[in-house]
């Protein structure tokens, strides 16, 4: 009997496994593929999602190419103009990062191997059967039992379907391809994002090409992608008479937007694309999943360790569902703006003109960079993400250094003494940064409590919400 089986060794499943392992839980990861899927998909993380890795000691190059202080991308194929963004207004929010999902998987697998956590590859889960006290996981290599199962098995999640989650939302109206290709005539396709009478496309200098057509979802999303499919999409959308002769990577997508009715059913939980799907415009899916993983990790570890009640899974959903719904809304708006009918194009032109203004450019940059991700109610610092505060002692490291092995952190001013008997899973950290003399930071980087004195009921309650003593910390509703 395993404490927890994670179905799916994609970036979200592996990140969750790492978070659990850091919290002294030994998960088993079951992954259907024999090796990491090299198909090009996500290549960037928004600020808070990049911080989930920085907090675990991963370093990224600081600036984005082209002189912009950070990667900000596009809205509905309309590039955000870095020269219009008022960067000073985004100060204090975390830097985005260029990182592929395969790099994240490699990194997480390496760390998991060091920690002795098993990622069992080439095992396909066929069914999950929930019971009151456990979940049976039926695989093509036999049956396993676990106290908890997390479905991190992507947008077509078997776990979600098998455990009976509903997945309401909108069907797709478009067909997109992202491909890295070789062929003839490709150089005649202009570089960058373009809207034509038949769709939207983007070409990068290395012939990474994205096409989007708005005349219906793919008839069969599982059908093998052929060179003819790719050639046809390029010709129809760009109008260029190119021919694809080889595809180094190709993926087909649509714009169905859905979020599960509940993030938990009994002993089965969902995270990442298994819980929410949306089109990739604006590059937010991986970020959403990485933050699901870190929000769930310490809670699931606390429940398994008997330090937290199962009610904390309600808090997981209360925090993460609004984020998923926000991204669904954002991506639906982008598809509406990308459609090729005259009314949609007029709306697109209007939004483009707003994005040319400093206020407009700054606002969309804030959203794409993840500067709006927060669980806070009102102006309270509680529920916001702690930045990488500098240590007061030159050799003491920064907040992320101190938090690197999954501990909660009690940050305090250098002249404010932390309580002598902190729980074993809270590290004290002297800093001149932060919103209050004492700030309790969760293992996922979220501020759980801030105050003038690290004592009294409220402080004890905040500790308990992290599974460090016994009562419960309530997450504010928005
Ligand atoms: C073209 C494209 C571009 C994108 N660009 C971006 C971007 O720039 N930024 C961004 O943030 N996001 C982007 N995304 C979205 C991003 O790729 C996903 O959100 C991300 O992969 C989700 O990770 P995941 O771990 O939840 O799911 P997945 O990556 O889908 O991983 C699920 C894993 O589960 C395994 N699995 C599935 N079923 C089973 C089973 N029955 N048994 C065992 N294993 C199973 C699969 O093999 C897979 O390894 C893009 C997506 C696409 C398609």
Using pLDDT thresholds of 50, 70 and 90, give the confidence band for residue 59.
confident
For 33-47, 387-401, 412-426, which range has the lowest pLDDT when averaged over its residues?
412-426
Task: Give CA 86 to chain center in angstroms.
Answer: 26
Q: What is the pLDDT of residue 478?
A: 35
My answer on whether 250 and 268 are in the same domain is no
Which band of pLDDT confidence, cut at 50, 70 and 90, is reported for residue 52? Answer: very high
> Which pLDDT tens digit goes with each residue over 393-410?
877 799 999 999 999 999
* Domain identity same for 47 and 182: no
- Sign of the four-CA dihedral 84, 89, 91, 92: negative
Model pLDDT, residue 65: 66
Identify whether 22 is part of a domain: yes
- Establish if 416 belongs to a structural domain: yes
Q: Are residues 28 and 99 in the same domain?
A: yes
- For a substitution probing ligand 1, which of 212, 286, 290 has the most ligand atoms within 8 Å of its CB? 286
For residue 402, the model assigns a pLDDT of 93
Pairwise CA distance, residues 110 & 120, whole Å: 14
pLDDT of residue 262: 98
| Whether 11 and 156 share a structural domain | yes
> Are residues 334 and 410 located together in one domain of the fold?
no
Whether residue 386 contacts residue 52, with contact meaning beta carbons closer than 8 Å, is answered with no
Pocket test for ligand 1, best of 5, 15, 32 (most atoms within 8 A of CB): 32
| pLDDT score of 415 more than 70 | yes
Tens digit of pLDDT for each residue in 187-224? 999 999 999 999 999 999 999 999 999 999 998 888 99
- Partners of 100 in the beta sheet? none
Band of pLDDT at residue 447, cut at 50, 70 and 90: very high
Pair 203, 306 in one domain: no
Do residues 36 and 139 share a domain? Answer: yes
In a domain, 310, yes or no: yes
Q: What is the CATH number of the domain that holds 37?
A: 3.50.50.60
Ligand 1 atom with least separation from CA of 124 = 42
Q: Are 426 and 463 in contact (CB under 8 A)?
A: yes
- The number of beta carbons lying within 10 Å of the beta carbon of residue 184 is 12
For residues 159 and 184, membership in a common domain is answered with no
Residues 140 and 27 in one domain: yes
Of 455, 458, 451, which Cα lies nearest the Cα of 472?
458
- For residues 245 and 316, state if they share a domain: no
Q: Which residue among 196, 219, 254 closes a domain?
A: 254
Looking at the structure, do residues 200 and 263 belong to the same domain, yes or no?
A: no
Of 5, 24, 301, which Cα lies nearest the Cα of 145?
A: 5
| Residue 74 falls inside a structural domain | no
List beta partners, residue 28. 5, 118
Range of the domain at 406: 377-478
In-domain check, residue 181:
yes
Q: Which atom of ligand 1 is nearest to the CA of 153?
A: 34
The CATH number that applies at residue 399 is 3.40.30.120
Residues with CB under 6 A from ligand 1: 7-13, 30-33, 41-44, 101, 124-125, 152-154, 158, 178, 251, 253, 272-273, 280, 283-287, 289
Total count of domains within the chain: 3
Cβ neighbors of 239 (< 8 A, separation 6 or more) are: 196, 198
Q: Is the confidence at residue 315, as pLDDT, over 60?
A: yes
Structure-block tokens of residue 314: 């309600």
- Does any domain span residue 328? yes
Instruction: Compute, in angstroms, the gap from residue 153 CA to the centroid of ligand 1.
Output: 8
State the closest ligand 1 atom to the C-alpha of 159, by its place in the atom list counted from 1. Answer: 41
Q: Is residue 64 part of a domain?
A: no
- Give me ligand 1 centre to Cα 37, in Å: 9
**The domain spanning residue 206 has which CATH number?**
3.30.70.2450
Q: Answer with the one of 254, 289, 310 that is the final residue of a domain.
A: 254
Distance CA 273, CA 157 (A): 8
Domain end marker among 254, 287, 308? 254
pLDDT digits (tens, 9 = 90+) for 262-306: 999 999 999 999 999 999 987 899 999 999 999 999 999 999 999
Judgement on whether residues 267 and 413 belong to the same structural domain of the protein: no
Residues across the chain: 478
pLDDT confidence of 468, banded at 50, 70, 90?
Answer: low
Q: Encode pLDDT of 122-164 as tens digits.
A: 999 999 999 999 999 999 999 999 999 999 999 999 999 999 9
Query: Which residues make Cβ contacts (< 8 Å) with residue 463, sequence separation at least 6?
Result: 423, 426, 440, 469
How far apart CA 6 and CA 151 sit, in angstroms, is: 6
Model confidence band, residue 63 (pLDDT cutoffs 50, 70, 90) = low
Average pLDDT of the segment spanning 22-51: 94
The answer to the question of residue 356 being in a domain is no
User: What is the predicted pLDDT for the residue at 70?
Assistant: 78
Q: In Å, what is the CA distance from 365 to each residue of 75, 89, 362, 441? A: 9, 10, 5, 26
């Amino acid at each position: 009997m395993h404490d927890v089986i994670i179905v799916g060794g994609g970036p979200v499943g592996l990140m969750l496994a790492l978070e659990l392992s850091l919290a002294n839980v030994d998960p088993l990861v079951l992954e259907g593929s024999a090796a990491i899927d090299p198909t090009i998909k996500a290549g960037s993380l928004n600020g808070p999602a990049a911080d989930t890795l920085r907090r675990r000691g991963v370093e990224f190059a600081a600036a984005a190419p082209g002189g912009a202080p950070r990667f900000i991308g596009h809205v509905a194929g309309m590039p955000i103009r870095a020269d219009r963004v008022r960067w000073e207004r985004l100060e204090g929010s975390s830097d985005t990062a260029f990182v592929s999902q395969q790099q994240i998987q490699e990194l997480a697998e390496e760390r998991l191997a060091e920690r002795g956590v098993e990622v069992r590859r080439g095992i396909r889960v066929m069914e999950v059967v929930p019971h009151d006290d456990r979940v049976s996981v039926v695989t093509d290599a036999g049956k396993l039992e676990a106290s908890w199962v997390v479905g991190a098995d992507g947008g077509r999640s078997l776990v979600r379907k098998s455990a009976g989650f509903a997945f309401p939302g909108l069907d797709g109206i478009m067909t997109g391809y992202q491909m890295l290709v070789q062929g003839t005539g490709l150089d005649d396709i202009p570089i960058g994002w373009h809207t034509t009478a038949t769709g939207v496309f983007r070409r990068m200098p290395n012939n990474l090409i994205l096409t989007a057509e708005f005349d219906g979802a793919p008839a069969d999303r599982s059908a093998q992608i052929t060179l003819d499919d790719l050639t046809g999409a390029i010709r129809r959308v760009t109008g260029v008479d190119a021919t694809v002769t080889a595809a180094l990577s190709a993926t087909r997508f649509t714009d169905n937007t859905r979020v599960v009715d509940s993030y938990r059913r009994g002993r089965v939980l969902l995270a990442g694309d298994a819980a929410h799907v949306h089109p990739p415009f604006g590059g937010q899916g991986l970020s959403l999943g990485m933050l699901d993983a870190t929000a769930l990790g310490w809670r699931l570890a606390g429940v398994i360790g008997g330090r937290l009640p199962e009610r904390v899974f309600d808090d997981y959903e209360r925090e993460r569902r609004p984020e998923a719904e926000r991204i669904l809304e954002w991506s639906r708006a982008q598809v509406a703006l990308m459609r090729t009918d005259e009314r949609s194009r007029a709306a697109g032109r209007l939004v483009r003109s707003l994005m040319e203004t400093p206020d407009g450019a700054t606002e969309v940059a804030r959203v794409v960079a993840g500067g709006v991700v927060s669980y806070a109610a009102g102006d309270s610092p509680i529920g916001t993400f702690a930045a990488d505060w500098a240590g007061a002692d030159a050799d003491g490291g920064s907040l992320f250094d101190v938090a690197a092995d999954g501990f909660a952190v009690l940050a305090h001013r250098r002249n404010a003494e932390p309580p002598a008997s902190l729980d074993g899973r809270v590290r004290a950290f002297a800093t001149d940064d932060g919103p209050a003399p004492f700030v309790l930071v969760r293992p996922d980087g979220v501020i759980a409590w801030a105050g003038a004195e690290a004592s009294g009921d409220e402080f004890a309650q905040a500790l308990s919400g992290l599974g460090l003593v016994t009562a419960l910390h309530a997450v504010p509703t928005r």
